[in-house]
Amino acid sequence: MLPEAEVRALMRAEHEDPFAVLGPHETDEGLRVRALLPGAKSVTVMQSGSGWPLAQLDRKPGSDLFAGLVPASQARLGYHFHVDWGSHSSLIDDPYRFPMVLGATDAWLLAEGTHLRPYEPLGAHLREIDGVRGVAFAVWAPNARRVSVVGDFNQWDGRRHMMRLRRECGVWEIFAPQVAAGDSYEFEILSAGGRVTRKADPFGFSARLRPDTASVVQPLPPPARMPPDRGPANARSAPISIYEVHLGSWRRKNNGRDWLDYRELADTLVPYARDMGFTHIELLPVSEHPFDGSWGYQPIGLYAPTSRFGTPGDFRAFVEAAHAAGLGVILDWVPAHFPTDSHGLAQFDGSALYEYADPREGFHADWRTLVFNYARTEVRNYLVGNALYWLERYGVDGLRVDAVASMLYRDYSRPAGEWVPNAHGGRENLEAIDFLRRMNHVVGTECPGAITIAEESTSFAGVTRPPGQGGLGFHYKWNMGWMNDTLRYAGLDPVHRRHHHREITFGLTYAHSENFVLPLSHDEVVHGKGSMIGRMPGDPWQKFAGLRNLYGYFWAYPGKKLLFMGGEFAQWAEWNAERGLDWHLLEQPSHQGIRRLVRDLNNVYRHFPALHELDCEPQGFEWICHDDADQSVFAFVRRAADGGCVVAACNFTPVVRHGYRLGMPLAGAYREIINTDHAIYGGSGLGNGILETQAIPWHGRAQSMSLTLPALCTLMWVLA
């Protein structure tokens, strides 16, 4: 029999190599089978095929360890246990008779940190081994003394499924027979210091809704490649107008008490966004997260669509519905940090495994979160694999990477003396930069047509330059400078705008230094900033006119577009994630007018290549008038690759400009395609219809025309 010390270690779930003693083992006496079955009264070994008893196992006195000699030739054909529990009996398979779960190649690639799809071997996977169905569990925890998988299937008892350590890659594994889809589970981890914790699966494909913390066995979603038309729809020459949405507060049901689920959102949100003319829907993070108030930006389950709105299959149905409607789906993705919740990645195996150990590197004071340790190959591999997972397994079009600036700089939001310089003494986080380049390279090569978008608020060079050319490799970057300048300008009393003219013109000095998305995002309507309509100065009429003017300028300006939900109909209230949008406002003509304008702007933006085709190229933009500060007027030309053009003029004062002369790029008749002061949008109805140019030089051009610029209005023209 086993030495007493090993028996005690098994009983206390402290044995570091349970596979060395449990299950079948060749001895000088023959094949000995040992089983640790707490609560069992008696255990009989039965042959799997015939069901014949092979041996009665003896209990080690004072323990729940059973052992006995078993006919080797019959046991090798497969066996299970008949267990008498006193009140009932059951047939169970011995998890310690099955072979290793990880193949040699997987173990090697995981150790090397080059496994492109680590979610395939790690986590919980439905398998059939030797004719027995169950789940293969595998988790990276190299510094743990012992790891068990626990769940309803074993009474959450860490002694019943203690796992095998694959020392070559630091992964613990076990095949658990009879475990099935829908079963809850966690990993029980004994740290080197003797502390026992329970952790959700870092690779769990589904999770219980908070406050529950368990992961849920779920089949790996089959590949879901993007439809072939999606790649061209994501290109920088394509019209990209993004509707940014928080699923929990777009609409609610049952008098605002309950969320819509993914399938209900597919039936409501998708057709709404399509009717509004948007090309993409961007979702605030859908990865599982424990705290509603984080809006998903502090995820626990990076591989699990949040159970708040349904199952992984339901989420997949939402993506498919969006694609069927011609809409792309972009997910906000958070590889910058993670929360400190005890069931998450923090101190996962009792050590700083996923995070930097030094709090000067690994703790975000602003968000009270932990920073991923980008220096570890396994951590980079975990994150790169997660990017591929959403793109390949759910077929989403792209990822908007959150808080990139916080990743790039070691001194981000840290006072002097509270950050650690890089190896060269600088402030850049070289490991994070390397991770972002690798992630973007892998996405670009493995998922052609998919896009990544950086929320990056600094002047870091080359964010959208390919990694091979020294850039980070993103396809697009949020233009935070444009957003800040524009909203500050739009919020000024018009009488003061003449003194801030440069806040509009300055953006064109760098507008083509990156491939930009212009973001009017959720960040601009929370934390006391108010709503978009609330930012506008003046009386109610001026507020609505000012917002229409801003939106016209926004859609005419070079760059892809992003508008947060509620902005399309001028919600008055600041966004509140705890309730639905104020849809009742659409009963009022002024709000309905804003929504109609946004729909028309989207349709014009998509229809005229000059407004999108060269968004990211300097030849797509040309000033006509940028120096009329006294009247706060701006005018410019947007061009397409074939030379076609759209002329835009913006009047940012509440004064009508009659007889305003504007130089035009070509001679001919021009017709208005957008007039934000049109009566159908709630404006005064002033306009120009079709105007002919005259051979009067103006603004450095041979042709010009005299027009009416309505108050607080943007106009757009094309050759008739």
646, 511 Cβ separation under 8 angstroms: no
CB 85 within 8 A of CB 41: yes
DSSP string, 666-694: SSSEEEEEEETT-GGGTS------EEE-B
Calculate ∠ Cα 211-212-214, nearest 5°: 150
Percent of the chain exceeding pLDDT 70 equals 100
Give catalytic status of residue 455 as yes or no.
Answer: yes
- pLDDT exceeds cutoff 90 at 229: no
* Reduced DSSP (H G I as helix, E B as strand, rest coil) percent helix, strand, coil of the chain, to 5: 30, 30, 45
Residues 6+ apart with CB under 8 A from 230: 323, 328, 397, 449
Query: How crowded is the C-beta side of 630, counted as CA atoms within 13 Å?
Result: 1
Which pair of structure tokens corresponds to residue 168?
Answer: 């070559």
Q: How confident is residue 73, by pLDDT bands cut at 50, 70 and 90?
A: confident
On the question of pLDDT at 49 being above 90, the answer is no
Question: Helix axis angle, 104-112 relative to 377-393, nearest 10°?
Answer: 120
Find the radius of gyration of the CA atoms of the chain. 31
Instruction: Please report which confidence band the pLDDT of residue 42 belongs to, taking 50, 70 and 90 as the band edges.
Output: very high
Please state, in angstroms and rounded to a whole number, the distance separating the CA atoms of residues 492 and 508.
20
Residue 693 has what pLDDT?
A: 97
Mean pLDDT, to the nearest integer, of 483-490?
97
Specify the pLDDT at position 28.
86
pLDDT of the residue at 77: 83
Per residue in 681-708, pLDDT (tens digit) is 999 999 999 999 999 999 999 999 999 9
Identify the residue whose tokens are 């602003």.
366
Task: Give the mean pLDDT of 555-575.
Answer: 98
Q: List helix spans (H) across 99-217.
A: 104-112
Residue linked to tokens 């940014």: 244
Question: What would the mean pLDDT of 470-479 be, rounded to a whole number?
Answer: 97
Cβ contact 45:75 at 8 Å: yes
pLDDT at 441: 97
Residue 1 has pLDDT above 80, yes or no: no
**Contact predicate 166/172, CB 8 Å:** yes
How far is 178 from 183, CA to CA, in rounded Å? 10
Peptide bond preceding 211 in cis form (omega within 30 of 0): yes
For residue 225, is pLDDT > 80? Answer: no
The mean predicted confidence, pLDDT, of the chain is: 96
Instruction: State the pLDDT at residue 268.
Output: 98
In this prediction, residue 454 has a pLDDT band, given cuts at 50, 70 and 90, of: very high
Residue 450 has pLDDT above 80, yes or no: yes
Confidence of residue 76 (pLDDT cuts 50, 70, 90): confident
- Selecting among 186, 455, 503, 568, the annotated active-site residue is 455
Nearest residue to 45 via CA among 100, 82, 9: 82
Determine the pLDDT at residue 283: 98
Which residues are CB-contacts of 300 (< 8 A; sequence separation ≥ 6)?
200, 207, 287, 288, 289, 290, 338, 339, 341, 343, 344, 345
Distance CA 579, CA 258 (A): 9
Q: Which residue has the higher pLDDT, 476 or 130?
A: 476
Residue 622, phi then psi, degrees to nearest 5: -150, 130
718 within 8 A of 671, measured Cβ to Cβ: yes
pLDDT > 90? residue 288? yes
CB 348 within 8 A of CB 354: yes
pLDDT(138) > 80: yes
For residue 576 the two structure tokens come to 């509140």
Residue 179 DSSP code: -
Residues contacting 152, CB < 8 A, separation 6+:
183, 184
Helix (H, G, I), strand (E, B) or coil at 164: strand
If you average pLDDT over residues 590-612, what whole number do you get? Answer: 98
What global pTM score does this model have? Answer: 0.94
What average pLDDT does this structure show over 254-263?
Answer: 94
CA 538-540-546 angle, 5° bins: 60
Q: How many residues does the chain have?
A: 720
CA 432 to chain centre: 18
What was the pLDDT predicted at 228? 85
> Could you read off the pLDDT of 301-342 as tens digits, one per residue?
999 999 999 999 999 999 999 999 999 999 999 999 999 999
Tell me the residue type at 297: Y
Q: For the chain, list the domains and their CATH numbers.
A: 4-95 (2.60.40.10), 104-216 (2.60.40.10), 239-609 (3.20.20.80), 618-719 (2.60.40.1180)
Question: Would you place residue 476 in the very low, low, confident or very high pLDDT band (cuts 50, 70, 90)?
Answer: very high
pLDDT surpassing 90 at residue 230: no
The secondary structure of 345-407 as a DSSP string is STTTTSS-SSB-SSHHHHEETTTTEEEB-TTSHHHHHHHHHHHHHHHHHS--SEEEETTHHHH
Residue with tokens 């990276």: 140
Two structure tokens written together for 607: 């229809």
| φ, ψ (nearest 5 deg) of residue 505 | -75, -30
- Quick check: 177 and 134 in contact, CB under 8 A? yes
CA dist 118 and 110 (Å) reads 7
CB 197 within 8 A of CB 342: yes
d(CA 401, CA 334): 6
What's the DSSP call for residue 209? P
Could you tell me if 153 and 176 are in contact, meaning their C-beta atoms sit under 8 angstroms apart? yes
CA distance 187 to 214: 9
Residue 608: predicted pLDDT = 98
pLDDT score at 682: 97
Over range 545-549, report the average pLDDT.
98
Per-residue pLDDT tens over the stretch 140-189: 999 999 999 999 999 999 999 999 999 999 999 999 999 999 999 999 99
Task: Determine the pLDDT at residue 279.
Answer: 98
- φ, ψ dihedrals at 373, nearest 5°: -85, 90
Q: Could you say which DSSP state residue 462 is in? A: T
568 is catalytic: no
The whole-angstrom separation of Cα 385 and Cα 314 is 22
Distance spanning both ends of the chain, measured CA to CA:
96
Catalytic residue (one of 93, 173, 402, 600): 402
Compute the C-alpha angle 408/116/449, nearest 5°.
75
Tell me the percentage of the chain whose pLDDT exceeds 90: 94
